[in-house]
Chain A
Amino acid sequence: QVQLQQWGAGVVKPSETLSLICGVYGGSFSDYYWSWIRQSPGKGLEWIGEVHHSGSTKYNPSFKSRVTISADTSKSQFSLKVNSATAADTAIYYCARGRPASGTVAPFHSWGQGSLVIVSS
């Protein structure tokens, strides 16, 4: 059973970059796409984007211009960067196992523990 553990800065200053990393344990990193999702009182659950072990990405157009998701296959980790953070980016951020690497569709079976990120000076 795959387990995801995430970490990163809990407080980010406005206009700076929000950064999080998620480690994948107990499963094959190459078998799935890996996603970031966030949850806020104002917007609810929002899918941010996904990455394939090859580095291929897909982003939610709502975030595309500010977000970078990348994969480090050697460490079975993937990361999220959100540029030019604002108070609206304050949320709980989750990493999650997405669809199989073959490209078929699937829900989010496994989630990280969540990281509260506050954007404030």
Chain B
Amino acid sequence: DIQMTQSPSSLSASVGDRVTITCRASQGISNYLAWYQQKPGTVPKLLIYGASTLQSGVPSRFSGGGFGTDFTLTISSLQPEDVATYYCQEYISAPWTFGRGTRVDI
């Protein structure tokens, strides 16, 4: 199985700050990397797929990058509604695996 390692596990930042979360795959996954946002008490929501393609309706302050084994999710200007846990997921080969999540607080 491919192991997905996220860092940090949690962070606290101020409104307007630039926030970056990293995700590392235990082996190369090309760009088959997705990011999900899960707000407290809700279902995970797909934010980004293909490492950098924003899902329809996702604010442009979110961006993704990377290829191979190292990936990033960046929030260019953190907003109160961005408080959530963010998960990366590889989808190059089953069993599809997720990172353990990064909790973002303000």
Chain A positions near chain B (C-beta within 8 angstroms): 44-47, 50, 58, 60-62, 94, 99, 105-109, 111-114
Contacts and interface: CB of A to CB of B under 8 A. Distances in A.
B43 A94 contact: yes
A47 B36 CA distance: 14
Contacts of B43: 94, 111-114
Given A94-B43, A114-B43, A44 B91 contact: no
Given A44-B100, A45-B87, A107-B89, A58 B46 contact: no
Interface of B: 1, 32, 34, 36, 43-46, 49, 55, 87, 89, 91-92, 94-101
Contact of A107 (B46, B94, B95, B97): B46
* Interface-centre pick from A61, A108, A109 (highest chain B CB count, 10 A): A108
Contacts of B91: 99, 105-107
Given A44-B101, A45-B87, A108-B89, 17 more contacts: A44-B100, A45-B98, A45-B101, A47-B94, A47-B95, A47-B97, A50-B94, A60-B94, A94-B44, A105-B32, A105-B92, A106-B49, A107-B34, A107-B91, A108-B46, A109-B55, A113-B43
B96 A47 contact: yes
Contacts of A108: 34, 36, 44, 46, 89
Contacts of A114: 43
Contacts of A105: 32, 91-92
A94 B91 CA distance: 17
Given A44-B101, A105-B32, A106-B49, A111 B44 contact: yes
A103 to B, nearest CB: 11
Contacts of B89: 45, 107-108
A67 B67 CA distance: 34
Contacts of A44: 87, 98-101
Nearest to B98: A45
19 contacts: A44-B87, A44-B98, A45-B98, A47-B94, A47-B96, A50-B94, A58-B94, A60-B94, A60-B95, A61-B1, A94-B44, A99-B91, A106-B91, A107-B49, A108-B34, A108-B46, A108-B89, A109-B46, A109-B55
